[in-house]
Amino acid sequence: MAIKKKNSKHSPNGSRRHNGASPATTIDLRTYSIPDLRLEHPDLSVRQSTEKDGHVRYEVTGNLDAPVPPIRDSKYLSKQQCIEIYRYMLLNRKMEVALENLYKQGKVVGGVYFGLGQEACSCASAYALDKDDWFAPMIRNQGSLLVRGFAARDTMMQYMAKADSPTRGRDGTSHFGDIEKRNMVSPISMLGDLIPVLSGVALGARLQGRNVAVMTYIGDGGQSTGVTYEGINFAAVQNLGLVLFIESNLWAYSTPSEMQYRCKDLAERAIGYGIPGVIVDGTDACQVYDAAREAVERAHAGEGPTLIEAKMMRMKGHAIHDAASYVPKPMFDFWKKRDPIARFDNYLVKEKKWLSSKENAELISEVERIIEAEREIAINSPMPEPESAEGGVYCEDGCHDIKPKYGTPKVKKGTGGYKETEAAVHLK
């Protein structure tokens, strides 16, 4: 990411110059570079059109036959790391297949949300975090949870509302958290609220002398919320290590991204925040990782937030109930060819030859065995007792021993700063 070294407080994306000294023509020309790691720039565009039968439908235009680009070699990932990410992506997908089956068997409470087509984004982003870093997934980032050390059963039990689920039945999907071991903040349904929260995590850590990276995600739809703006701006002004992935997957429920914003790419919003923005192909794990890792390193170096826009498509409906019939079919065809797992498989097996077909097959069946075993455990967990609905609204005395996670917070040193203020005087 070219912007990495530019650590100026203002306009990290750009430079400016004035052309001309004559008053009448002074105009401020600014050049911003939004690094774009993609190896293709799909030009598809969606709009509402009223058809002859009176129906309003979405229509797609653009080159739907463009060839599939290659995977971009990572600047950082080793062979082993690539395979590990690939394995997480497989786990992610197989787990979601298992969830779909559980749903069909009537074992799921409510709906199921899928990250189909977005596994590279979830897995390679979370893979870029260090152990001490923090993260919060959104509903499609079930892969991130696996990378961060949660078991598939955790998510499965959440969907089945089981007694042993991380929230003991109280919430579903990826709505759970863990502040003890895995540094995960639970999402809530309201889109964008996590962004200032993760910024606050970075602030808390910094007060304890630690620059941690805090990664979270937001959709092309969810980023329209005001709290997204407040949260990113807060991180920018406070120079906090927020790594925000905008999962630009073309749809927000049934609404195409054209109806969420009017700029060309959401990464452009980084300019107005005064922080680096970068665009990656969200179906290319290497690009996702590289951008994420550079952002994480900026965070660790105390250089502030980064906005990463990952472009891809949501390859199912909003949730399992939604057949996505509003999506023009050619869009599915276009993006199906860009399936992140098929492409990574091809890259590892055929291009790089880092995996033999046999090893690949073994890996796949190992993953399937794991998921099957997890599924068994999850299914066998009981439903919670009705009475377990009660209690825990407050953290009662002794329920938690709260101390700063990273050691004693920094305190202004010496008494030089001490002043006989009104309060200090009164204190005597």
Partner 1 sequence: MQLTYLEAIRQGIWEEMDRDPSVFCLGEDIGIYGGAFKVTDGFIDRFGPERVIDTPIAESAIVGAAFGASLTGMRPVAEFQFMDFIGCAFNQISNMVAKTHYLWGAPAPLVLRGPSGGYVHGGPFHSQNPEMWFVHNPGLKVICPATPYDAKGLIKAAIRDNNPCIFFEHKYLYRRIKGEVPADDYVVPIGKANIVREGRDLSIVTYAAMVHTALEAAEILAKENIDLEILDLRTVSPLDREAIAATVKKTNKVIILHEHSRTGGLAGEIAAIINEEVFDDLDGPIVRITGLDSAVPFSPPQEHHYLPKVEDVVRESRRLKAY
293 among known catalytic residues: no
- Is 133 a binder of ligand TPP (CB under 6 A)? no
**269 lies in the site for a copy of itself, by CB under 8 A:** yes
User: Tokens standing for 306?
Assistant: 């980064």
Residue 311: count of CB within 10 angstroms of its CB: 28
Looking only at residues 231 through 260 of this chain, which bind ligand TPP when binding is defined by CB under 6 A? Answer: 247, 249, 251-253
- Nearest CA among 398, 401, 320, 385 for reference residue 170: 385
Indicate if the alpha-carbon torsion angle 79, 84, 88, 90 is positive or negative: positive
Footprint of ligand TPP on residues 212-231 (CB under 6 A)? 219-222, 225
Residue 280 sits at φ, ψ, to 5 deg, of -130, 160
| Cα–Cα dist 36/40, whole Å | 10
State which H helix or E strand residue 247 sits in.
strand 242-248
Determine whether 43 is exposed, middle or buried from the number of CB atoms within 10 Å of its CB (0-12, 13-18, 19+): exposed
Q: Choose, by CB under 6 A, the member of 269, 298, 314, 338 that binds ligand TPP.
A: 314
Please list every residue from 176 through 195 that binds ligand TPP, using CB under 6 A: 189-191
Q: Is 67 in the site for a copy of itself (CB under 8 A)?
A: no
Size of the site for a copy of itself (CB under 8 A): 59
Partner interacting with residue 200 (select from ligand TPP, a copy of itself, partner 1, none; CB below 5-8 Å by kind): partner 1
Catalytic residue status for 375? no
The H-or-E segment that residue 318 falls in is none
169 is a site residue for a copy of itself (CB under 8 A): no
Q: Which of 190, 263, 383, 389 binds a copy of itself (CB under 8 A)?
A: 263
- Residues of this chain that interact with Mg ion (CB under 5 A) are 219-221, 249, 252
Minimum CB distance to partner 1 smaller for 300 or for 405 = 405
Q: How many residues does the chain have?
A: 428
Single out the catalytic residue among 318, 338, 343, 375. 318
Q: Which of 140, 269, 314, 338 is labelled catalytic?
A: 314
Cα gap 374→50, rounded to integer Å: 48
Nearer to partner 1 by Cβ, of 104 and 410: the residue is: 410
Residue 303, both tokens: 């250089």
Residue 163 interacts with ligand TPP (CB under 6 A): yes or no? no
Give the strand pairing for 242-248 and 214-219.
parallel
- Catalytic status, residue 148: no
Minimum distance of Mg ion from residue 260's CB (angstroms)? 8
Dist CA 67 CA 90 (whole Å): 24
Encoded one letter per residue, x for contact with ligand TPP by CB under 6 A and - for no contact, window 317-346 reads -x----------------------------
Of these, 4, 32, 64, 100, which contacts a copy of itself (CB under 8 A)?
32
- Helix, strand, or coil (residue 45): strand
Tell me, what amino acid is at 11? S
Q: Which of 87, 140, 148, 153 binds ligand TPP (CB under 6 A)?
A: 140
Q: Is the Cβ–Cβ distance between 74 and 351 less than 8 Å?
A: no
Q: How far is the CB of 256 from ligand TPP (least distance, A)?
A: 10
Taking residues 283 to 322 in sequence order and writing x for each that binds a copy of itself by CB under 8 A, - otherwise, the string is ---------------------x------------------
Chain-centroid distance, C-alpha 63: 28
Catalytic residues: 314, 318, 326
